[in-house]
Amino acid sequence: MTSFEATGQRANEYRVCALRALYIIHCPPTITFTTTDPANYPVPSPRYLAIHAPCARASRKVMREREFTTVLVYDGGSAALLEQLLVQSKIEDGDDPEEETIANSIQ
């Protein structure tokens, strides 16, 4: 997952972050969002990017943990990881649990 973290140096300037450097190898280390038509094409919301960044960091942590975990611990300490992996595999198989909730709320 790719995310943008504010550098704090200039408005709309962000560091490009990803789980693996390979994912962003062709990106500059920082980018600055600009627009010539802010009314029709505004720059991305700093608030939304600020919310997305920690979510992406947490996701990267789970992905790293998934890569290096080959055995679940017997005392239940791996329960959160197992739950995340099961939900993720369900979504990857096209069975999104949120989809069912949305469909049921429409009826």
Q: Up-side HSE of residue 36: CA atoms within 13 Å toward CB?
A: 0
- DSSP 8-state secondary structure symbol assigned to residue 58: H
- Report the interhelical angle of 79-92 vs 97-106 (nearest 10°): 70
Q: What is the H or E stretch that residue 57 is in?
A: helix 46-68
pLDDT score at 100: 46
Q: pLDDT (tens digit, 9 = 90+) per residue, 41-85?
A: 999 999 999 988 888 888 777 777 767 666 667 787 777 777 776
Q: Bigger pLDDT: 42 or 91?
A: 42
Q: What integer pLDDT is reported at residue 57 of this predicted model?
A: 80
